[in-house]
């Protein structure tokens, strides 16, 4: 990992119950002035971009399908929340970040590039 790729960890909550998930199991949080989404599926949580890389749809209004893929509300493009891959074949990549549930809170790791 290069110097610019080192992660800075940002605490977003003391515990998962503090995050306000909507009925679609997606929450919107702010990390260092950047709006991002948190998705919850089968006991795991994932951090990803607030807007779809295709047409800018707001992903806090997305759905999570039965396979755990994020489905954009605008054009139904699907993304794997674990790695950002576009699984419906259009070739886009969803920005995502590591998230850790630690004993002292919930943290998201971001590189310097995330703030540009």
Q: Where are the domains of the chain?
A: 3-115
Query: How many percent of the chain have pLDDT more than 90?
Result: 86
pLDDT band at 114 (very low <50, low <70, confident <90, very high): low
Cβ atoms within 10 Å, residue 115:
11
What is the CATH code of the structural domain delimited by 3-115? 2.102.10.10
- Furthest C-alpha separation in the chain: 39
Paired tokens of 16? 């998962």
- As a whole number, the mean pLDDT across the chain is 92
**What pLDDT shows up at residue 6?**
87
Output the pTM of the full model.
Answer: 0.90
Q: Return all residues near 97 (Cβ < 8 A) that are at least 6 apart.
A: 36, 47, 48, 108, 109, 110, 114
């Amino acid at each position: 990992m290069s110097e610019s790729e080192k992660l800075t960890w940002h605490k977003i909550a003391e515990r998962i119950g503090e995050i306000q998930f909507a009925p679609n199991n997606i929450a919107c949080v702010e990390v260092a002035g950047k709006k991002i989404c948190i998705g919850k599926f089968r006991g795991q949580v994932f951090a990803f971009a607030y807007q779809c890389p295709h047409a800018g749809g707001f992903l806090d209004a997305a759905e999570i399908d039965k396979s755990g893929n994020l489905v954009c509300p605008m054009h139904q493009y699907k993304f794997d929340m674990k790695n950002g891959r576009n699984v419906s074949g259009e070739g886009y990549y969803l920005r995502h970040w590591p998230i850790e549930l630690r004993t002292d809170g919930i943290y998201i790791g971001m590189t310097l590039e995330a703030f540009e």
